[in-house]
Structure 1
Amino acid sequence: MTRGPATPLPSPKARRRLREAASLTQTQLAERVGVAPGTVRAWESGRTTPRGRKREAYAKLLKTLAEEEESAARQAARTPQPAPPPKTEPTGDRASAPEACTRAEAEPEPEPEPVAMPMPMRESAPEAQPRSTREPVPEPRPAPAPLTPAQAFDALYEFSAPALVRQTFLLTGRREQARESVERAFQTAWERWPEVARDRDPVGWVRATAYEYALSPWQRFRPRHRHPEPPPADPGDRTLLNTLLRLPPRHRRTLVLYDGVGLDLPETAAETEASTPAAAHRLLRAREAVAGRLPALADPQVLHRRLAQLASNERLGAARPPTVRRGGERRARFRTRAAIAFTVALIGTTALTVRTAPTHYEPPVSPGQAVRGVPPRVAPGSLSDEELELRQKLRDQMQDGPERLSPQLE
């Protein structure tokens, strides 16, 4: 089967304008469509897009609001506006002004000659008026100066860092790791601040980065991970935290985002990079696991309150914004210097290799082989009797060989 094209929708700004023109709140619009108010807020901000039957219902409702707005505009255009009452002048010369206007409309007016425009008269200064009739003129307020990038970053950090540390503690169960994850996420945000500042949800961007760093599998290989931290003092908080840590990381993250932070299901699915059905399945499995160990938390509202209470009971602080920014800048400088050093070393090694490399082919030398049957080398010395006799015999014989041989009969 082939799926048909999706129902077209207006832009997010047009959706909000239509809702406000109909004098509807987000809650009222959500009740008419059958969704949560947070979902309507996400649709109007452009973070998410409706799908399926909700998209069709939302598009139909927006079309109805647009038609109502057009009909109201047409009706207002047809309604005649009441004419303003004629002005009465006390003098006789000005009383005949309507008749003069009527005659001027009946007779065509000759085209006027261009004349020089007189300079406008200055109004009397406020000092010339009586002091009793003078009204105080309010001084114009200066426009607020735009925030610098550092000030905007500090405001975002002070607003969201404490809550993010508590949320990350629910994922890891470690206080120092939660602080470090949030600080590292904000340092990454400061390195990529133009992108984060233009993001629709900067807090969500930092939260996703902090969660990814906190749930990284490389954390288990750190030496600090081998030493457990002291558990919460309350036995109920300790049991709930152990139950959360027994969940798979994906289920734990989905549960914290939906029941802890309070995000909608599509937003939770988008932040965990999963489909909406997959996020719903993970949420149900996580709730079943928590309810199986703690039956009192089977109600989602009770679970939400207990997660918030568990996160708020821990004394989790965050560093100051300037400290986080300086830490990120130091880390960026270290990476830059390390990259430069590695590049210089690579260039030097390449140059040395090119300088010392051979320029022509040299065949390899074959391995040597042992020669056998060679008499041993003897040092020079006196000849033996046999050698003397042999030498004398060779001297007595003819040097040019025997005489010519001739055949003879025997």
Structure 2
Amino acid sequence: MTRSPATPLPSPDERRRLRTAASLTRRQLAERVGVRPETVRAWEAGRSAPRGRNREAYAKLLAGLAEGAADGGTRESAPVRQEEAAAVVTVCLEEPGGDGRLGAVAPEPSAFAQAPPPSSAPHEECLTPAQAFDALYSFCAPALVRQAYLLTGRRALARESVERAFQLAWDRWPEVARDPDPAGWVRAAAYEWALSPWHRYRRRHRQPEPPPPDEDDRVLLETLLRLPPPYRRTLLLYDGLGLGLPETAAETEASTRATAGRLTYARETVAARLPELSDPDELRRRLAEPAFTGRLRAAEPPVVRGGSERRARFWTRAAVAFTVALIGTTALTLHTAPTGYEPPVPPGETVRGVPPRVAPGPLSEDDRELRDRLRKELPRGPERLAPQAR
């Protein structure tokens, strides 16, 4: 009696890549195999190997994922450089006095992206501004939402930051489309909104959000949120997105030396809490895990464009109303203001030589005699004066 050979298993890195390419979390894959998520993490890290029925189920599942990836096209899970995954989209706008061609729109390549990146071979298409904006949003928004969640630890704030950034980009679309790195422009705007210190005064941000279900992910998120915002942003840009040190320093508006110090401190802090993440490669893989951020969905591109247009109309009407009110106030002031100069009334001055007013008091003896004489003469009237000849 012969025993059938066991199904071969790929390497630990290949196992992780197949799961990430299929957009499966460790918990989802563990439920299919019938084990715990910690067991799947150990299999992918190479610390242990499956045995028995778990090995057969795990191997068949990976084989199915490999076949599906071969049919639909695979993608790498590690961060790739921008020049290797950039797609050139030339936008056509009808501008008077010009050819109407805007600069290249390079979607942001990132290990956080759920959708496969476009082909590395540049292709040129003539799209309307709305189509180009939708293409940029469809590729960058899901990744940016997860990045913003790593920065803030709040799902609603992460979605709001990305929507506000893209609304601002749609308002300034000619400027963004001509930018050499439109994805970086939007990413910087989203990070600035997400890390704004004014969010702490909002009522809905005073209540804590539920943490991730996985314990390791919860510890990693708590460790990241304990870092100062500049350190957290530096770690995410360098290890999460794979940017170089000069590019990270430029985006965080710091010197290269200060950025290197922030990165070293952030790595040491994470490694002190999670020793298995002392390896930079393992830290990059953990930051790129789709399961880390849970179910985060960005709004549809037309909704974001519509919100941007409504916001622009609101502020335009508010500016017109304020201008009208200012003009009306100025006209009323001009109508009611005096036409001639009226000098002000000078303050009173003290007159010298006038005895001060005193309150009535007791009469002296002379005053009483004078009073009696006046009372006697008043009924008869004054004495008649007769002229005398000289």
TM over 0.5: yes
> What is the CA distance between 1:38 and its match in structure 2?
4.9
Q: Tell me how far 1:391 sits from its aligned partner.
A: 3.0
CA distances 1:130-189 after superposition (whole Å, capped 9, x unpaired): xxxxxxxxxxxxxx9721100110111111100110011000000000000000000000
The yes-or-no answer on 1:176 pairing with 2:163 is no
Alignment of 1:123-142 (within 5 A): none
Q: 1:338 maps to which residue?
A: 318
Task: Tell me the equivalent position of 1:275.
Answer: 255
1:361 aligns with 2:342: yes
Q: Are the equivalent residues in 2 in contact too, given 1:265–1:276 (CA < 8 A)?
A: yes
CA RMSD of aligned residues (A): 3.1
In the alignment, the residues of structure 2 paired with residue 260 and residue 195 of structure 1 have an alpha-carbon distance, to the nearest angstrom, of 27
- Structure 2 contact 150–293 (Cα < 8 Å) conserved: no
Query: What amino acid maps onto 2:385 in structure 1?
Result: M
The offset of 1:313, in angstroms, is: 4.6
Return the TM-score normalized by structure 1.
0.58
Q: CA 1:40–1:318 in 2, change beyond 3 Å: closer, same or farther?
A: closer
Q: Partner of 2:104 in structure 1?
A: none
Shift of residue 233, structure 1, vs aligned partner: 0.6
- Percent identity among equivalent residues? 64
Q: Aligned-pair distance for 1:387?
A: 5.8
Cα–Cα, structure 1 residues 272 and 356, in superposed 2: closer, same or farther, change >3 Å? same
- Read off the aligned partner of 2:342 and give its amino acid letter: Y
Residues 220 and 368 of structure 1, relative CA distance in 2, 3 Å threshold: farther
Quote how far apart the aligned CAs of 1:310 are.
6.0
Residue from 97, 106, 131 that aligns with 1:151: 131
Query: SS where residue 127 of structure 2 aligns?
Result: coil
Q: Which position in structure 2 is the counterpart of 1:306?
A: 286
Instruction: Answer yes or no: is the 8 Å Cα contact 1:237–1:310 preserved in 2.
Output: no
Kindly indicate whether the alpha-carbon contact (under 8 Å) linking 1:166 and 1:311 is maintained by their aligned counterparts in 2: no
Paired residue for 2:275?
Answer: 295
CA distance in 2, matches of 1:198, 1:170: 29
1:396 — aligned with what?
Answer: 383
The alignment partner of 2:126 has SS state of coil
Could you list the per-position Cα deviations for residues 33-80 of structure 1 after superposition, in whole angstroms to 9, with x for gaps in the alignment?
xxxx959989xx9xxxxxxxxxxxxxxxxxxxxxxxxxxxxxxxxxxx
**Which among 220, 228, 242 is matched to residue 200 of structure 2?**
220
Compared CA separation, residues 310 and 322, structure 1 to 2 (3 A): closer
**Contact 1:153 1:190 (C-alpha < 8 Å) held by counterparts:** yes
Flag the 1:154–1:310 CA change in 2: closer, same or farther, 3 A.
closer
CA drift at 1:196: 0.7
Q: Specify the code of the residue in structure 2 equivalent to 1:354.
A: L
| CA drift at 1:312 | 4.8
Preserved contact between residue 39 and residue 264 of structure 1 (Cα < 8 Å): no
Q: Does 1:208 align with 2:195?
A: no
Q: Give the conservation status (yes or no) of the 8 Å contact 1:169–1:311.
A: no
The one-letter code matched in structure 2 to 1:228 is: P
Segments of structure 2 that go 5 or more residues without pairing to the other structure are 1-79, 89-123, 351-355, 361-370
Give how far 1:215 is off.
0.2
Q: 1:285 to 1:310 in 2, by over 3 A?
A: farther
Corresponding residue for 1:328?
A: 308
Q: Distance in 1 between matches of 2:82 and 2:317?
A: 46
* 8 Å Cα contact 2:146-2:293 kept in structure 1: no
Structure-1 residue corresponding to 2:222:
242
Inter-partner Cα distance in structure 1 for 2:281 and 2:199: 32
Contact 1:38/1:264 (8 A) holds in 2: no
1:260 aligns with 2:240: yes
CA distance in 2, matches of 1:215, 1:196: 22
Q: Which has the larger radius of gyration?
A: 1
Cα distance change on mapping 1:187 and 1:348 into 2, 3 Å: same
| 1:194 partner amino acid | P
**2: distance between equivalents of 1:336 and 1:188?**
15
Aligned CA distance change for structure 1 residues 332 and 203 (closer, same or farther; 3 Å):
same
Higher normalized contact order (CA 8 Å, seq sep 6+, divided by chain length): 2
Deviation track 1:176-223 (CA, whole Å, cap 9, x = no partner) reads: 000000000000000000011111111111000000000011111111
1:228-272 Cα shifts (integer Å, max 9, x gaps)? 111111111111000000000000000000111111111111111
Give the structure-2-normalised TM-score: 0.60
Contact 2:212 2:292 in 1 (8 A): no
Cα distance in structure 2, aligned partners of 1:227 and 1:237: 20
* Residue 334 of structure 2 corresponds to residue 347 of structure 1: no
CA shift digits 1:91-143 (9 cap, x unpaired): xxxxxxxxxxxxxxxxxxxxxxxxxxxxxxxxxxxxxxxxxxxxxxxxxxxxx
Deviation at 1:316, TM superposition (A): 0.2
Determine the C-alpha separation between the residues in 2 that align with 1:385 and 1:266: 112
1:399/1:251 CA distance change after superposition, 3 Å: farther
Q: CA deviation at 1:399?
A: 5.5
Q: What SS class does the counterpart of residue 296 from structure 2 fall into?
A: coil
Query: How far does residue 392 in structure 1 lie from its aligned partner after superposition?
Result: 5.5
Structure 1 stretches of 5 or more lacking a match? 1-36, 46-143, 376-383, 405-410
Distance 1:261 1:311, change over 3 A: farther
1:318 has 2:298 as partner: yes
Amino acid at match of 1:328: S
Secondary structure in 2 matching 1:395: coil
Tell me which residue corresponds to 2:169: 189
SS of the aligned residue for 1:349 comes to: helix
